[in-house]
Amino acid sequence: MPRTLVTGGAGFIGSHLCEYLLDQGHSVVAMDNLLTGDPANIERLIGRDFVFVKHDVTNYIALEGDLDYIFHFASPASPIDYLKLPIQTLKVGSLGTHNVLGVAKAKKARILLASTSEVYGDPLVHPQREDYWGNVNPIGPRGVYDEAKRFSEAMVMAYHRFHGVETRIVRIFNTYGPRMRVEDGRAIPAFMSQALKNEDVTVFGDGTQTRSLCFASDLVEGIYRLMLSDTSDPVNIGNPQELTILDLAKKVIAATGSRSRIVERPLPEDDPKIRQPDITRARKILGWEPKVGLDEGLIPTIAYFRSKLGIT
């Protein structure tokens, strides 16, 4: 039975990944400092072959026993989180990634880094392919996340090339589903909680910026396939179904049966204008593509936010 470490295991994607790995027969260690993670996300896993270790990976990681796989998902990941936690975001992407790579090397474990479409910044190429180097403002407010992840990728490739560590890099595009934090400030949680409370739905800018949204279960399956593949090159995982943020707001209002109005708010600095993954590589190498369309994925997500907000 493989033994697997998931850093950021109490987070939105991390907790879905822990559950998926348990279902695949892994023994799972989840590590999280609970800065943006939530113990409620992993409650249901207690009693299975699962241990939780509360630890900040920016500090030295002492973990007993063998490890076969490491999924490195620890990081604040929503724009308001990394605006509030800029130093922690930079530290977890740099010192944290270095420590986790050290564990991978010592245990001879294969490591997969959770990278991001943010490495492409405000992209000048559309859709984004893995060979695009990106358009990132290093000193802007999003730079703390984008550059931390770019540094992480560089560090992972250095451990791969210099130390021969088996590495994988997934570039995750916008993902949604149950267990997103109500207050994380991202479009889906914000629109859903506003719509369910019949409050104004806040579209930033004129809402013509685009995103492409992937349901959590599709993402996790793509990530698992990537871990088991033999490519150390980065692979985009996301759903190419692209829409404007204004259309997303309308969709959420319709799907929740809300009376909310849409209001415009200032566009945050360096907010990418367009984003859509080119998933040719994932299709070819992993035989993967997303199965859950937006209309379908919104249903369980709305049910989750309803219960979190206590709205029946």
Sites of contact with ligand UDP (CB under 6 A): 78-79, 174, 186-187, 190, 202-204, 209, 211, 245, 268, 271
Q: How far is the CB of 111 from ligand UDP (least distance, A)?
A: 24
Catalytic residue selected from 20, 82, 145, 224: 145
215: its two tokens: 């349901």
Identity of the residue, 69 or 82, whose beta carbon is nearer to ligand UDP in the bound complex: 82
304, 179 Cβ separation under 8 angstroms: yes
Q: How far is the CB of 14 from ligand UDP (least distance, A)?
A: 17
Identity of the residue, 174 or 236, whose beta carbon is nearer to ligand UDP in the bound complex: 174
Identity of the residue, 53 or 83, whose beta carbon is nearer to ligand UDP in the bound complex: 83
Element (H, E) at 168: strand 167-172
Q: How far is the CB of 287 from ligand UDP (least distance, A)?
A: 27
185: its two tokens: 């400030």
Helix H segments across 24-168? 79-84, 86-91, 97-107, 143-163
Separation CA 278–CA 130 (nearest Å): 8
Q: Which residues pair with 202 in a beta bridge?
A: 263
Q: How far is the CB of 42 from ligand UDP (least distance, A)?
A: 23
Identity of the residue, 102 or 134, whose beta carbon is nearer to ligand UDP in the bound complex: 134
Give catalytic status of residue 145 as yes or no: yes
Element (H, E) at 171: strand 167-172
267-297 burial, b if ≥16 CB within 10 A, otherwise e?
Answer: eeebebebbbbbbebbeeebebebebebeeb
Q: Which residues are catalytic?
A: 145
